[in-house]
Structure 1
Amino acid sequence: MKRLALFAVVAAFAAPVSAADALRPVVVARGLDHPWALAFLPDGRALVTEKVGRLRLLRGDGTLSPPLAGLPAVDVRGQCGLLDVAVDPEFERNGLVFWTYAALQGEGNTTALARGRLVGERLTEVRTIFVQQPGVSSRAHCGSRIVFLRDGTLAVGLGDRFSRRDDAQLPGNHLGKFVRLDREGRAPADNPRRAGWAPEVWSLGHRNVQGAALHPASGELWASEHGPQGGDEVNVVEGGRNYGWPLLTYGRNYGTGTRIGDEGPRPGFEQPLKVWVPSIAPSGMAFVTSDRYPGWRGSLMLGALRGEALVRLTLDGRRVVDEQRLPMGQRIRDLRQGPDGWLYVLTDGRDGELWRLER
């Protein structure tokens, strides 16, 4: 049996949902226009991005603030707009928050990283600290996710912009890459910095990163990305590694269904830990570290856009030993574990909602 067929069988026979595992979505906020990302603040509030270019605060009483003023101009078209948001681990000391967004650049656009200081319900000292190069005339594959690594640097997943997929293998640019930056948007001295690599590049061969999270025990960076017509992946992303796209993929060309590259394994390229064929379009992801969900501690949870579900992966180290699908009936854009131990999800739509998942 070919490896692709094996993955297809595994995906098709995901474990059913038992009554004990059923989740009860509790609506925390509604009326969000294509919400994209959620990040909790130490004081119990949360930040929510809307792809249409609005950053809002979810207050402790459950109400949403008006859009925060002072963001750079956001280019909203297709899959691009205001994207991820992350709170600095030292927020209580420095008040910094970071976000990614699509920025106009020449006749095209690009994915950029900005930061600002949150004071009450105001953003101050806002500035863009990193801009993906080159800009591309595209409405697709802007990425992106932001994760603070344990050393205080930021890993930012950047899409290949769809029309430039071969650039994901060119280390001199930022298309289809993870970059690693300090809080000023500069490349740390201990980045891979191989011959021909842009100094910011951490890893290459990514298509369209849509989820990322830090493993709570190992501190490893885990990420999910979309494949074309199959080939969605989960990877552990390490510095200096090549994750294959588009030379190594289980996806297929749109329309024709023809192969794009090898399915692997292939020397010099990392094999994914998990592949979905057909696609579920994985989105935000989080590790379960609380005891709110008996038997789930240590699981990796992912949202699914096309699959309109939550996916729970049971892990043995880096090995995925089981998959469970929990139908939600809506496209899930982001998923985070809150300070209270509950899982929170954002639904994708013009009238999107924030849910707390209880059992």
Structure 2
Amino acid sequence: MNSILSWRLGLRALILLALLLFVVFWWAPKGKAELRVSSEHYMIELEILADGLQHPWSMVFLSDDEMLVTERTGQLRRILKGRLLEEPVAGVPEVAVVGQGGLLEVLAHPDFAENAWLYLSFAEETQEGLTTSVVRGRYASGVLSDLEPIFSARPASAGGRHFAGRMVFDHQGYLYIAIGDRGEMQRAQIGQDHAGKVVRLFEDGRIPPDNPFLGNAEFDDAIFTWGHRNPQGMLVHPETGEVWLSEHGPRGGDEINRLLAGANYGWPKVTHGIDYTGLPISQFTQLPGMQHPEWHWTPSIAPSGLIFYDQAEFPLWQGQFLSGALRERLISRLSVKASADEEGSLQEEERLLQGFAQRIRDLRLGRDGHIWLLTDENPGQVVRLRRVEALE
């Protein structure tokens, strides 16, 4: 009887301790270190800077004091001097919150400090169906005004999958917009269809005269690359100026690609993945005239935000790529090989934050030199990574 009583008391003590740890973790003051994780080279602190967000999707740093975060549910939220404001930004266009669609990327113009242009990508409902659209507006003090349409992917269609929506400006000021295949894989190989493509535009939506398919009757003039499935990460290499893209495969075959003007990245004619049914999509992983990925994850991790690391906080990661992951809830660290081969130019070195256990939607380098991430949860969080110490 005494042993049973002791066992019950011990069990209650463990339950109370677990509840206490839960309360400490989730209710600690924001901006304080919530969690420490070890990596191959460093001990890392994860600071929760904001929480209570509804599936945050993208973030942008406007100044040392202000950043904006999109919520897939349609709100653009302000974080001012480290505090998440309750009132969302006014003037955001109407968003179709359907499946994977909603308010997606927020991107500042390279000369934002002078012209205040802010770009938004989002799922839009039209008379023809759903599509990925981009607008820009002048932003000031929590208000977006003077909205201008920049781009809408054609044709619109039914279904709530693969809107993509990542955007970047390259070093020449061209705007790149990634469009998913909308869950209809064959559209990625149709030249007059924007689905499964990356388009390149001037900042106001006009077509650059050196776009690779300009004047080609088989392709829309805006298209820069084709044969993509569902891009979810995008960056401009700070040294080369090249645009890099990460995209979801089906079951396997997630990719990182370096974009070359006019290149076909093969989906669905070539892939390292198989269908969700378990059946093959293609027997080919390479074909003549189709670009091979610089890296592929098989099995899938569902890559998300993609950054090239060139800051001082983690010196041993200099010159490497970091990709968030939704499915595997981690950050993949990839280095550049000494020499590229048929398998691509990258190799995975480490999987970070595997104990974090939250879907990572976006990954950014902040103005403070730290790595920032968004968790695709409800409630979702804004988290900053800080180095505690180097490991011996």
State the TM-score, normalizing by the size of structure 2. 0.84
Q: 2:192 matched to which residue of 1?
A: 172
Q: 1:62 matched to which residue of 2?
A: 83
**Aligned 1:1-359 pairs, distance under 5 A:** 18=39, 20-64=41-85, 66-106=87-127, 108-162=129-183, 164-192=184-212, 193=214, 194-255=216-277, 257-316=278-337, 319-326=345-352, 327=354, 328-359=356-387
Deviations 1:127-177 (A, max 9, x none): 222110000101100002001011111000000000x21010011110000
Aligned residues: 342
Deviations 1:108-128 (A, max 9, x none): 210000101111221110122
Deviations 1:204-236 (A, max 9, x none): 000001000011110110110000011100000
Alpha-carbon separation, structure 2, partners of 1:17 and 1:24: 9
Amino acid in the other structure paired with 1:224: S
Q: Is the 8 A contact 1:29 1:64 kept in 2?
A: no
Deviations 1:191-214 (A, max 9, x none): 112341101101000000100001
Q: What SS does the corresponding residue of 2:148 show, helix, strand or coil?
A: strand
Alpha-carbon separation, structure 1, partners of 2:317 and 2:221: 39
Alpha-carbon separation, structure 2, partners of 1:121 and 1:144: 23
Alpha-carbon separation, structure 2, partners of 1:135 and 1:158: 12
Amino acid in the other structure paired with 2:307: A
Q: Which has the higher contact order (CA 8 A, sep 6+)?
A: 1
Deviations 1:298-355 (A, max 9, x none): 1111100001001111113762133310112110000000011100000011100000
Amino acid in the other structure paired with 1:286: I
Q: What SS does the corresponding residue of 2:113 show, helix, strand or coil?
A: helix
Which has the higher Rg, Structure 1 or Structure 2? Answer: 2
Alpha-carbon separation, structure 2, partners of 1:285 and 1:263: 27
Q: Is the 8 A contact 1:144 1:208 kept in 2?
A: no
Q: Structure 1 19/274 Cα, relative in aligned 2: closer, same or farther at 3 Å?
A: closer
**Structure 1 ranges of 4+ moved more than 6 A:** none
Q: 1:13 matched to which residue of 2?
A: none
Q: What SS does the corresponding residue of 2:187 show, helix, strand or coil?
A: helix
TM-superposed deviation, 1:32? 0.5
Alpha-carbon separation, structure 2, partners of 1:300 and 1:351: 28
Deviations 1:38-64 (A, max 9, x none): 111134411100000001121124333
Amino acid in the other structure paired with 1:128: P
Alpha-carbon separation, structure 2, partners of 1:145 and 1:268: 26
TM-superposed deviation, 1:187? 1.4
Q: 1:11 matched to which residue of 2?
A: none
Q: RMSD of the alignment, in Å?
A: 1.5
Which ranges of structure 2 fall in alignment gaps of 5 or more residues?
Answer: 1-36, 388-392
Amino acid in the other structure paired with 2:347: V
Q: What SS does the corresponding residue of 1:23 show, helix, strand or coil?
A: strand
Q: 1:3 matched to which residue of 2?
A: none
Which ranges of structure 1 fall in alignment gaps of 5 or more residues?
Answer: 1-15
Alpha-carbon separation, structure 1, partners of 2:53 and 2:377: 8
